[in-house]
Structure 1
């Protein structure tokens, strides 16, 4: 699996994320990586949706393990 650099910036801390990849679908980007952050709240075991760190981003946490970050392409 290849790690790609993306326009998400260092505010996400993704330089520390193991095995991430970026997919671009037209004007949208989807970044998929393992969730490495400590969550200080009860997380839904199947799917958790939240606003991203930056404006216009949506974070989806699947099965408490996989983090999908949706955004516009840069």
Structure 2
């Protein structure tokens, strides 16, 4: 994944995922990818919302498989 001025740092490890893409809408960025992290808690099977790894990020897990990461564009 090669993007210019993305606010998603290497802490997400997104550069190794071939099935991810990013959409930029105004001052917001939306990254869609498959969930690759091991969750150590019971996850809602339809929709799960959580704060992101970095400040200002919101993670939405859809159907336990797709991860939507919302952030402010820089």
Tell me the C-alpha RMSD between the 2 structures.
1.1
Partner of 2:33: 33
With normalisation by structure 1, the TM-score equals 0.89
Which of the pair is proportionally richer in helix?
1
1:3-26 Cα offsets, whole Å, 9 max, x none, are 343320111121232310000010
**C-alpha separation in 1, matches of 2:47 and 2:56:** 20
Contact 2:7 2:71 in 1 (8 A): no
With normalisation by structure 2, the TM-score equals 0.89
Matches within 5 A, 1:26-65: 26-65=26-65
